[in-house]
Amino acid sequence: MALYTRCYYHKRHYQPMSDTCPNLPPPAPNYRRAAYLTSAAKLSQCPPDQGWEVAFAGRSNAGKSSAINSLTGNSKLAKTSRTPGRTQLINFFELSEQQRLVDLPGYGFAKVPLAVKREWTRQLENYLQKRQCLRGMILLMDVRHPLQPFDQQMLDWALSASMPVHILLTKADKLKKGPATSTLLKVRAQLEAHRELVSVQLFSALKHSGHDQLLTVLNAWLTDTSVLEEPTAT
């Protein structure tokens, strides 16, 4: 499987943790240590833009909480993101001082006034396009309904920021092997033009399948030392 990391344009904005903390590569994270850090309604409320961050996005019901639960072995984390008042916020979970998982809100709040939705959309786009420590996005889609308008919007924002996206086609157990593989190939073909930034896999939280592939991508993004390199003169 090819692994893609964020383009050089974004690397030059990398901020070291502090003067006393040298630019050493971070260790592979222990996902079971994930702990709730904070929530933000806008970019200015996010934790300092330092270190390594990976965002999880998906329409509501795509299986995001189940995937985060199965990755971290902690059902309380996803519940934290669903606490009333936090469902429309960007929720941060700390893996280590320098590494974070970020749960982005889906579109699960049809009763919210349009103006609120617009503002939320603006803030989400802002976060995806401006957050320098964001190394990549895990985009979850139900394998039976891939590439819906919400997914396309998330892909467009990520790609316009040259950010790698790894797609999980979730609930793969709901389809037989043949149709699941055929959907995988179809989605890959549809995104062929972006193959340098986009990868796709099947995933099932229920059957615990696809974990190793997901971990390979997450570990690569969350320990990507190329962001530590000094920019070279052009």
Asked if residues 199 and 2 have their Cβ atoms less than 8 Å apart, the reply is: yes
Instruction: State the SS3 of 176-204.
Output: CHHHHHHHHHHHHHHCHHHCCCEEEEECE
Under 8 Å between Cβ of 14 and 228: yes
Residues between 146 and 205 that touch ligand GDP (CB under 6 A): 170-171, 173-174, 204-205
Q: How far is the CB of 194 from ligand GDP (least distance, A)?
A: 23
Question: What amino acid is encoded at 200 in this protein?
Answer: V
Least distance in angstroms from the C-beta of 227 to ligand GDP = 29
Q: Does 60 bind ligand GDP (CB under 6 A)?
A: yes
**Closer CB to ligand GDP, residue 163 or residue 180?**
180
Tell me the CA end-to-end span of the chain in Å, nearest whole number: 31
Contact between 87 and ligand GDP by CB under 6 A: the answer reads no
Contact between 64 and ligand GDP by CB under 6 A: the answer reads yes
Residue 58 near ligand GDP by CB under 6 A? yes
DSSP secondary structure code for residue 231 in this structure:
P
206 binds ligand GDP (CB under 6 A): yes
- Which are the contacts of 96, defined by CB distance < 8 A and separation ≥ 6? 26, 27, 29, 30, 33
List Cβ<8 Å contacts ≥24 apart for 179-187: 180/143, 183/143, 183/144, 183/146, 186/146, 187/146, 187/147
* Contact status: 29 vs ligand GDP (CB under 6 A): no
Indicate the residue among 63 and 146 with the shorter CB distance to ligand GDP.
63
Read off the tokens for 198. 């986009």
Least gap, CB of 59 to ligand GDP (angstroms): 7
Question: Does residue 65 touch ligand GDP according to CB under 6 A?
Answer: yes
Is the CB of 8 or the CB of 107 nearer to ligand GDP?
A: 107
Q: How far is the CB of 77 from ligand GDP (least distance, A)?
A: 11
Alpha-carbon distances, residue 195 vs 131, 164, 169, 192 (angstroms): 23, 10, 16, 5
Stretch of 13-21, 56-64, 185-193, 215-223 lying at the interface with ligand GDP (CB under 6 A): 56-64
Residue 214 makes contact with ligand GDP by CB under 6 A: no
Cβ closer to ligand GDP: 117 or 194?
117
Are 226 and 140 contacting, i.e. CB atoms less than 8 angstroms apart? Answer: no
Q: Given the rule CB under 6 A, which residues bind ligand GDP? A: 58, 60-66, 170-171, 173-174, 204-206
